[in-house]
Amino acid sequence: MADQTAVRAADAEHGLDVPARFARLDHNATALAVRLELCASARHRLDLQCYIFRDDDSGRLFAEAMVAAAKRGVRVRLLLDDLDASGRESVFGRMDAHPGFDVRLYNPLPWRGLLRPLSLLRDPGRINRRMHAKALIADDSLAVVGGRNVGDEYFAPEAELAFADIDVLIRGELARQVSESFDLHWHSPWAKPLTEVRGRRAPLEAARRARERLARPPRHEAPEQVLAKDAAAHELLGRLRAGAWPDLVGEGRLFADLPAKMELDTAQGEGYFDAALRALVGSAQREIMIMTPYLIPQEEGMAVLRALRARGLRIRILTNSLAATDVVAVHGGYRRYRRRLLELGVELYEFRPTGFWGRRLRRFIRGAHLRASLHAKTLIVDDHLVLIGSANLDPRSHGLNLELGVAIASVPLAREIRICFEDAILPVNAWRLGLEGGRVCWEGAGRRHEPGAGWGRRLLSRLLGYLPLEAHL
């Protein structure tokens, strides 16, 4: 087992002092191709940690790439949160059956199958705590960290709903620290081998259906075909194979919640949020830019923002509009803070569902009409610090879920991500919010209610906002 102190990375005195090379991954097809390349190039060990692993085209590509690595003699480990995996044990069982391929489920539900919903009633406090961290590590030397799970909405260029996200590719010592974090969770008592959770082999009919799903033809254009049309992405993959990419230099530090966060009565000490905010936000001198799909600052977060504004810092936040969000309940919680944020002087923007990333995703698909939703979880401090990870700015990430991210001191990387942010908040891509007569308004929308969202969605958001759900959002 990895030394717990080695992966904690939450001690403020260590600073951002681990040299590494970085590259941003913001185009969905490129992000998938890079991950598949890491699977193909791994020689000794391949680890994937994620919250969601869909049984769709992207999931099939991942499964095939990871099984192929296991057949080459690579030790492959897949660590999944059980909330999404429950009910699809036969699909993951086919991967787990290969020699050298191990699957573990994090915080598994006590009851399976038709009794699965009753698990929430039996032990809601424990079941509500989930492993939300995402990382892919190859040979302890290359790692991808960010907000993407495995599924068409994160990668496929023709998915009906496409998430706009940003990951970071890491080469060097920092990638080894991400690997140590994975080891800590893999060996924790919360991670159960799939064979132990299943308790028995899946019926033959279930196994047959799993084979059929894996063998079915893809519904979308293959990512490699999409990338073949993108000369820049093709060049980057060539450089990755040659060891010349990523090429942006800097220093970084891992921020990772410990498994102790899963214990209801055990305090893990300073976690991802507290450590990251203290190390980065506290050092800001001029400006903070935030991209988060779900924004519920709570009173603690409002106090931090108030203190930053008192220091004269400019704060700009991009989050999802009601029309773009995939979780209406979270928007209901966020809307209670909008006016207070604006009164505080925070510059608030809401992502349009057909804005910046929506057009980027459509550039190879003539006549496509995609709906994009912001999924990036990124914070930029001044012109040189970046935080990229799995955590949203909401109570669930702060108090319930296990999260992982990296803070990076790199002027060139911060410049690239800042450009993404500046493009994403242009009027054609996002609505800027303001106050008129004390009421929230959307500049350029020509009305005073949630633009782009129907009355039913607006009503549902308002009703959910009145319920006492904030601590669970």
Q: Are residues 56 and 170 in the same domain?
A: yes
375 is a catalytic site residue: yes
Q: Give me the pLDDT at residue 234, please.
A: 76
- Confidence category of residue 362, pLDDT binned at 50, 70, 90: very low
Which of 158-162, 232-236, 260-264, 353-357 is least confident? 353-357
Q: Are residues 321 and 420 in the same domain?
A: yes
Is 3 a domain residue?
A: no
What distance in Å separates the CA atoms of residue 434 and residue 456, rounded to the nearest whole number? 24
Is 45 a domain residue?
A: yes
Q: Are residues 228 and 269 in the same domain?
A: no
Q: Are residues 427 and 451 in the same domain?
A: yes
* DSSP string computed for 150-171: BSHHHH-TT-SEEEE--EEEEE
369 is a catalytic site residue: no
The secondary structure element, H or E, covering residue 29 is helix 28-41
- Confidence category of residue 279, pLDDT binned at 50, 70, 90: confident
Which of 60-74, 264-278, 279-293, 358-372 is least confident? 358-372
Classify residue 393 by its DSSP letter.
B
Q: Are residues 191 and 112 in the same domain?
A: yes
134 is a catalytic site residue: yes
CATH (domain of 125): 3.30.870.10
What distance in Å separates the CA atoms of residue 33 and residue 155, rounded to the nearest whole number? 9
Q: Is the pLDDT of residue 26 over 70?
A: yes
What distance in Å separates the CA atoms of residue 314 and residue 288, rounded to the nearest whole number? 6
382 is a catalytic site residue: yes
Q: Are residues 164 and 235 in the same domain?
A: yes
Return the closest-CA partner of residue 141 out of 182, 167, 173: 173
Contact assessment for residue 251 and residue 19, using Cβ atoms and an 8 Å cutoff: yes
What distance in Å separates the CA atoms of residue 83 and residue 130, rounded to the nearest whole number? 8
Q: Give me the pLDDT at residue 5, please.
A: 34
What distance in Å separates the CA atoms of residue 236 and residue 255, rounded to the nearest whole number? 28
Q: Are residues 320 and 232 in the same domain?
A: no
Domains contained in the chain, number: 2
- Confidence category of residue 41, pLDDT binned at 50, 70, 90: very high
* DSSP string computed for 418-448: HHHHHHHTSTTTEEEEEEETTEEEETTTSSS
Is 225 a domain residue?
A: yes
Q: Are residues 271 and 131 in the same domain?
A: no
Is 8 a domain residue?
A: no
What distance in Å separates the CA atoms of residue 66 and residue 36, rounded to the nearest whole number? 9
Mean of the pLDDT values across residues 326-347?
93
Specify the higher pLDDT residue, 170 or 31: 170
139 is a catalytic site residue: yes
Is 393 a domain residue?
A: yes
Which of 185, 261, 375, 398 is an active site residue?
375
The parent domain of residue 397 ranges over: 254-472
Among 188, 208, 241, identify where a domain stops: 241
The overall average pLDDT reported for the chain is 83
Q: Give me the pLDDT at residue 143, please.
A: 97
Give the CA angle between residues 116, 118, 122 to the nearest 5°: 120
The secondary structure element, H or E, covering residue 464 is helix 455-466
Which of 55, 274, 326, 382 is an active site residue?
382
Q: Are residues 55 and 176 in the same domain?
A: yes
Which of 185, 331, 377, 398 is an active site residue?
377
Among 216, 241, 266, identify where a domain stops: 241
Cβ neighbours for 189, distance < 8 A, ≥ 6 positions apart = 259
Task: Look at residue 19 and give its three-state secondary structure.
Answer: strand
Mean of the pLDDT values across residues 204-227?
52
Specify the higher pLDDT residue, 448 or 132: 132
Which of 57, 84, 139, 165 is an active site residue?
139
Is 398 a domain residue?
A: yes
Which of 56, 84, 102, 134 is an active site residue?
134
Q: Are residues 298 and 425 in the same domain?
A: yes
Is 2 a domain residue?
A: no
CB-CB neighbours of 206 under 10 Å: 14
Peptide bond into 353 cis (omega under 30): no
Mean of the pLDDT values across residues 42-59?
93
Among 241, 263, 290, identify where a domain stops: 241
Q: Are residues 209 and 271 in the same domain?
A: no
Amino acid identity at 415: R
Tokens in use for 33? Answer: 């191709």
Terminal C-alpha separation, the chain: 33
Q: Is the pLDDT of residue 69 over 70?
A: yes
Is 332 a domain residue?
A: yes
Contact assessment for residue 38 and residue 46, using Cβ atoms and an 8 Å cutoff: yes
384 is a catalytic site residue: no
Q: What percent of the chain has pLDDT over 70?
A: 80
Contact assessment for residue 370 and residue 389, using Cβ atoms and an 8 Å cutoff: no
Q: Are residues 178 and 312 in the same domain?
A: no
Mean of the pLDDT values across residues 173-190?
95
